[in-house]
Amino acid sequence: VGGAIIFAFTLIPTRRRKPTIALFTFLAGLYYSLEFFLPTHLLSDGTMGNFLTPTLPVAGNVSQSVVAFTYGLGVISLLTVHLKSIGRKREGWGFSAAVIVSFFVMIVAGLCNKYSPNWSPVHGVKASDVFDFLFQGGLTALDSAMFALIAFFIVSASYRAFRIRSVESSLLMGSAVLVMLGQVTLGTAITSGLPSTGIASNFRLENIAQYILLEINTPALRAIIFGIAVGFLATSLRLWLSLERGAYFDQEA
């Protein structure tokens, strides 16, 4: 059904595409707005809601289906970019080739693992073993290694960049060191000799870190969240009413 709908959309003349998208965006937003704002009453299944509430699971499924199509779009985009790069022998085309090969190997391994895990392409090696090897030994290990590299950059950057040059940077540095120490066992071990109750307990590093996080960080962050929320509301309204200018429509114009 989704495929048919997408195909039907492709038949719409270019000049009518923008109003069509605007209409569907408005209707989708209107549905959730009405469901949220309309008065509720006791429904037949004993829960509270209005006439739109029982359709929420269906709307959730439709949303998932729509998002699933964007994955297809992502695959088409990925293949287009990298196949072009290989075809034109651009600089680094070997990396593009690695992407394409890895992409198809993982797809084949994943499908074999799902639909025929016991199939043995090589004697004694099952399809599920191949997938596990690629997933655990390849993807997971590479993903973890990529993220672990950040630790090296953080150590190097903090050593080179953290210089106390002003009052503000002193405050930042002081609070950062206290929160860091209060969040790890080494820090809490330093002041573990202090009593856990009474006035002296306030000087335990974990309590100082907790104070900074809850009494200083939280109000500041809450203010930021309020600001973001107001901005988000304005942006959402602009998107809902299709007032936002996007790269696609700008190119169309």
Residues near other proteins, by CB under 8 A: 32, 47, 49, 53-54, 56-64, 66-68, 70-71, 135-136, 139-141, 143-144, 146-148, 151-152, 154-156, 158-160, 162-164, 173, 177, 180-181, 183-189, 192, 206, 210, 213-214, 217-218, 221-222, 225
For the CB of residue 124, give the shortest distance to other proteins in the complex, in Å. Answer: 22
Tell me the CA distances in angstroms from 113 to 58, 101, 102, 124, one per residue in order.
30, 18, 16, 15
Cα–Cα distance measured from residue 219 to residue 213, given in angstroms and rounded to the nearest whole number: 9
- Residue closer to other proteins by CB (options 85, 205) is 205
For the CB of residue 35, give the shortest distance to other proteins in the complex, in Å. Answer: 8
- Residue closer to other proteins by CB (options 22, 52) is 52
Structure tokens at 109: 């391994």
The rounded Cα 47 to chain-centroid distance in angstroms is 32
For the CB of residue 210, give the shortest distance to other proteins in the complex, in Å. Answer: 6
Contact criterion met (CB below 8 Å) for 43 and 49:
yes
For the CB of residue 117, give the shortest distance to other proteins in the complex, in Å. Answer: 11
Structure tokens at 134: 């690629």
- Residue closer to other proteins by CB (options 19, 74) is 74
For the CB of residue 185, give the shortest distance to other proteins in the complex, in Å. Answer: 4
DSSP 42: E
DSSP secondary structure, 127-186, as one string: HHHHHHIIIIIIIIHHHHHHHHHHHHHHHHHHHHH----SHHHHHHHHHHHHHHHHTSHH
